[in-house]
Structure 1
């Protein structure tokens, strides 16, 4: 059963996003101030107008005081949330539901993460005590399993799948080179991507997202109040979250060619928004390209490509800026890195720019009569993850 949803009941009226990168000269608090002030400025609001806050962070704070002590919010409620790599999206989801429920008039969702100062990396780290079935694999190693599984299931050659991975990395770095907020702002040739040192399996350095710092924020109000604050709001059409049973790695039926959590969350979001043909109805999408094979598998799980066809669609240019469905027009995690609490709201910020026609001209996506933008996060690993999907649009109805 899908959730009922809150289509067209709340709207985003202001957003802010910092530059992502190795922000050695900025604290968590500095980035919170930067993103929240930008969002307030967009909506023409003073900070005291915000009734409540939802803060998403995984490692950069452990209570609402992470935000309140920096912004001096004068005893306003601040709820700190964490949900793996979908943490920023979870802050947004909960903030939206609070407004839709009538609990508050104006709220803010904020995501922040400061990873570069704490030594965080994608290397093996210790898990909590388990029943002994969990494996101590790095994130690249776990996601490297997607490619060989896909090749075996669909009869695609290893070379073709690797070409599609390379194209995905090239595309996202091409887009990021046109984004002043990205961590990596340079194009990377396919030859350089192919020649990069191996990290795990067929994954090279350019197949993996980086580690970075950043923050993003969104202000949410009731839909009927949206035009008080901006002449170009974004209306929430669907918000879906799925937490998996975590059985994939020990289930012989799981074949590492899909994220079932993504399939479920996407179906729920589409049902809420009334989207029947996402590849035809979406203007653009921001997806969780933590590794290039992840993005490839996501194209099929989200319904953008038929099963077994994503390599052809990718290599044909379907997902480039000029393609039928631009994916990660801001550069994605490949160009921004992945400050965990901030990534989901950073994706939403790109929808804010694109659907309002305010992205830089060199990467502004052509609407072609399409009305919706999609964001997607997943957290965890193949067969053992959570997934979030949002759909937003610039018009009611």
Structure 2
């Protein structure tokens, strides 16, 4: 396990744009809006106080120059790309630099401009491989999850379908309370069930959308946090895990659990001192790229017992008023997935909740939250998990 950053790093400011089909907004506009909002959230802070920047994007810019140009800064700017976990990895690298004492104040900015680029999801030209991985679309790959889960745990396919519908309904209901989300309407369960199928049993409402968006975080060492704000957010534990891409040799097992997430959670929980995530964690933002992904994550993250997540979902455990609210901001289902920004957007919801600024979706005094971000396909994932708290443990 890496050396822990438990209570060594604090987030003192955050910003987030609206996500959606932002035809009249450029990538530069998104970067500036997110960064300026983060700076404005810290009284007395100015752009010149930020000593280094980490810029996350999958396809909107290659190098740190786009961010330097947009923000008009002459400073170290590092571009980070790690599939759908790019935004989280930008935060991770900025946190390491601050913890090491190289910089006192750093910023992570995530931006993606997809809607008017012709680029959709992760359909991009890949580097040559050994040709052992199948050629398959993302919806088709994730459509294998429900059938494998149903067979392995002997769950009736109709009941499992009800659980997936509930996830989509829950996240759209939460997103309807969030004016930054791309989709802000409640969608009935009947409409979700009757929607056109995209792949297998996955309908339009089982899949996250494509969006534009940006988000940013300002990071300092924990001992310096109260120089800037009386309500910082403290990093409790953090882990990134890249699998060995051996999914094609493990058969159906790769469709009932994501081993990279399990390994990632083990490290992050150890750093944060979490021994019972089901009861110790107050809220979670998870990577709901598809509804069955969220269901399986509930088990891989230790929120539900193996084979029991679908029951907890139908019981309302992860609803906004449930015991452990998941994706209270609406998740990828409501925001869409501008790849470089999503990880930071998840952290932004924790930031708002800890500060009591989440409006009509505000939870009752959460003190420990989880952000989970991942990229890839079943069998070859990159997983990121961070835990944040509103108070120092020491």
The two structures have a TM-score, normalised by structure 2, of 0.98
**Matches of 1:244 and 1:374, distance apart in 2:** 21
Q: Which moved more, 1:21-30 or 1:131-140?
A: 131-140
Partner of 1:347: 346
Q: Which moved more, 1:370-379 or 1:191-200?
A: 370-379
Partner of 1:227: 226
1:211-263 deviation digits (Å, cap 9, x = unpaired): 00000000001111101111100010111000000011233473410010000
1:306-353 deviation digits (Å, cap 9, x = unpaired): 001001100000000100000000000000000000000000000000
**Matches of 2:325 and 2:252, distance apart in 1:** 33
Partner of 2:265: 266
SS at match of 2:312: helix
Partner of 1:199: 198
Kindly state the Cα deviation for residue 355 of structure 1 after the two structures are TM-superposed: 1.3
Measured on the aligned residues, the alpha-carbon RMSD in Å equals: 1.2
Partner of 1:121: 120
Asked whether the 8 Å contact 1:124–1:136 carries over to 2, the reply is no
SS at match of 1:108: strand
> Residues 140 and 221 from structure 1, CA distance in 2 versus in 1: closer, same or farther, beyond 3 angstroms?
same
Asked whether the 8 Å contact 2:114–2:338 carries over to 1, the reply is yes
Partner of 1:143: 142
**Matches of 2:342 and 2:367, distance apart in 1:** 23
Number of residue pairs matched by the alignment: 392
Kindly state the Cα deviation for residue 124 of structure 1 after the two structures are TM-superposed: 5.9
Partner of 2:62: 62
Matching of residues 368-383 of structure 1 within 5 Å: 371-383=367-379
Asked whether the 8 Å contact 2:113–2:211 carries over to 1, the reply is yes
**Matches of 1:376 and 1:252, distance apart in 2:** 25
SS at match of 2:348: helix
Asked whether the 8 Å contact 1:35–1:217 carries over to 2, the reply is yes
Structure 2, unaligned runs of 5 or more: none
In the alignment, does 2:22 pair up with 1:26? no
In the alignment, does 2:356 pair up with 1:336? no
SS at match of 1:40: helix
In the alignment, does 2:275 pair up with 1:283? no
The two structures have a TM-score, normalised by structure 1, of 0.97
Kindly state the Cα deviation for residue 87 of structure 1 after the two structures are TM-superposed: 0.2
Partner of 2:382: 386
Asked whether the 8 Å contact 1:318–1:325 carries over to 2, the reply is yes
